[in-house]
């Protein structure tokens, strides 16, 4: 039986042997995709909590998604085992399979996605924005040092753990720079074998997708950089663009580029067509303006502008002690409305964690669970995000 020893986030060691689905209780669904479902699970023997991503082999084959699954597995294994892991990046504990499914056992993020909290609260105050922006930047610094570009950074892929710190996730569209130089022999053999031995090879060329090259851009429309959209060579700067868009959204409650459909969103990105709302903090505005720059070489964080160290020294981050960033006390998240039109900023006393809900599954409860009702986010739910269409509000629920 294969055994692999890993370091947990508390630096304790534990031995993980080969697993099967019967080694876990699958308790409830955390999220669903086109060919995968993520379950909140507990290990039978230890009671340890995991998020187990279950992928259907038949759907992977049918959709031609094998290379994305393999890429995500490779990158998570590299980050966890080859590079030793990072507190702000999701940890892969083990993989296993049965006849129909692949299983990735991942660290469990108790508080869900950052997107969930933006939908509940509408926007973050400056303290919370600084806290989460600095953690995202710290995660990107580690990722880029490992020669990995995320390429699909967005609030949905930023998870919030039980201690309210982030865990960057979803590496299916990420890119490994100089991947041929990576010594995969240093990775646990179980991680290497469990998926690669059961998935089909990449599809051969076809009129739709010659040579297996992607036929559309990689990423999510609201956060995609111009160079990714144009299928140009990309570097770490594309992740800094996405960081700028996320900071904009954390403060204003909505992404910088918004339109009624994806085509018009992408057109706005290529035209740098965005505007800051009234009351947007001046230092944050300066930072976002330096990140949402069309040319990657002129973007904050680019090598030509001093790299990530110069970005970390921006005035927006002046109060961040990068040496103790892992042990900072998280700020309290509460509904916040930025100052605008001469009106001061507004805080609500609503506590999204109070648990003050009624038993049962009536209409009000269903609205709350779907993020549509007035009981979510202190009277707004995701409807507080101006510019979003109704179907965006329930996306991913």
- Active-site residue list: 152
The total of other beta-carbon atoms located within 10 Å of residue 196's CB is: 13
Residue 50 and residue 25: Cα distance in Å, rounded?
Answer: 10
Sign, CA dihedral 317-320-326-332, equals negative
Beta carbons of 232 and 241 less than 8 angstroms apart: no
Tell whether residue 285 is among the known ligand binding residues: no
Long-range contacts for 260-266 (Cβ within 8 Å, ≥24 apart)?
260/389, 262/221, 265/221, 265/222, 266/221, 266/224, 266/229
User: What's the token pair of residue 277?
Assistant: 């709302």
Beta bridge partners of 159: 113, 167
Beta carbons of 253 and 122 less than 8 angstroms apart: yes
Beta carbons of 103 and 21 less than 8 angstroms apart: yes
SS (H, E, C) 285-314: HHHHHHHCCCCHHHCCCCHHHCHHHHHHCC
Residue 162 and residue 190: Cα distance in Å, rounded?
Answer: 28
Q: Cβ contacts of residue 275 below 8 Å, gap of 6+?
A: none
Residue 338 and residue 344: Cα distance in Å, rounded?
Answer: 7
Phi/psi class of residue 232: alpha, beta or left (left: φ > 0; alpha: ψ in -120 to 50)?
A: beta
Residues 116-135 as b or e (16 or more Cβ within 10 Å = b): bbbbbbbbbbbebbbbbbbb
Between CA 376 and CA 381, with CA 379 as vertex, the angle to 5 degrees is 45
Q: Which has the closest alpha carbon to 180: 210, 147, 155, 220? A: 147
Q: Which has the closest alpha carbon to 128: 250, 255, 242? A: 250
Binding site per annotation, positions: 53
Binding site per annotation, positions for ATP: 53
């Amino acid at each position: 039986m294969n055994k692999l020893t890993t370091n947990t986030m508390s630096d304790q060691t534990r031995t993980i042997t080969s697993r099967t689905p019967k080694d876990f209780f699958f308790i409830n669904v955390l999220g669903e995709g086109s060919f995968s479902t993520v379950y909140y699970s507990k290990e039978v023997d230890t009671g340890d909590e995991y998020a187990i991503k279950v992928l259907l082999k038949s759907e992977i084959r049918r959709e031609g998604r094998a290379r994305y699954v393999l890429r995500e597995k490779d990158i998570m294994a590299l980050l966890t085992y080859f590079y030793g892991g990072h507190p702000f990046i999701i940890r892969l504990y083990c993989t296993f399979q049965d006849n129909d499914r692949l299983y990735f056992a991942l660290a469990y993020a108790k508080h869900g996605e950052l997107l969930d909290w933006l939908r509940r609260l509408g926007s973050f105050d400056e303290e919370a924005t600084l806290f989460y922006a600095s953690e995202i930047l710290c995660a990107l610094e580690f990722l880029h040092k490992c020669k990995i570009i995320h390429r699909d950074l967005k609030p949905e892929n930023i998870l919030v753990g039980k201690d309210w710190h982030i865990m960057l996730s979803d590496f299916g569209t990420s890119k490994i720079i100089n991947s041929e130089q990576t010594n995969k022999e240093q990775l646990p053999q179980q991680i290497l074998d469990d998926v690669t031995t059961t998935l089909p090879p990449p599809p051969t060329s076809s009129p739709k997708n010659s040579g297996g090259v992607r036929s559309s851009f990689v990423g999510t429309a609201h956060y995609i950089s111009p160079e990714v959209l144009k299928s140009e060579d990309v570097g770490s700067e594309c992740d800094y663009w996405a960081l700028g868009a996320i900071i904009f959204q954390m403060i204003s409650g909505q992404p910088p580029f918004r339109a009624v459909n994806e085509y018009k969103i992408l057109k706005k990105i290529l035209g740098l067509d965005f505007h800051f709302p009234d009351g947007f903090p001046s230092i944050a505005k300066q930072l976002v303006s330096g990140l949402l720059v069309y040319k990657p070489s002129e973007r904050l964080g680019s090598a030509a502008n001093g790299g990530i160290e110069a970005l970390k020294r921006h005035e927006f981050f002046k109060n961040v002690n990068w040496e103790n960033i892992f042990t900072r006390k998280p700020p309290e998240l509460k509904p916040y409305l930025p100052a605008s039109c001469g009106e001061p900023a507004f805080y609500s006393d609503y506590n999204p964690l109070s648990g003050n809900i009624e038993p049962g599954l009536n209409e009000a409860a269903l609205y709350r669970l779907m993020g549509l009702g007035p009981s979510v986010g202190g009277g707004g739910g995701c409807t507080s995000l101006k510019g979003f269409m109704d179907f965006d509000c329930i996306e991913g629920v």
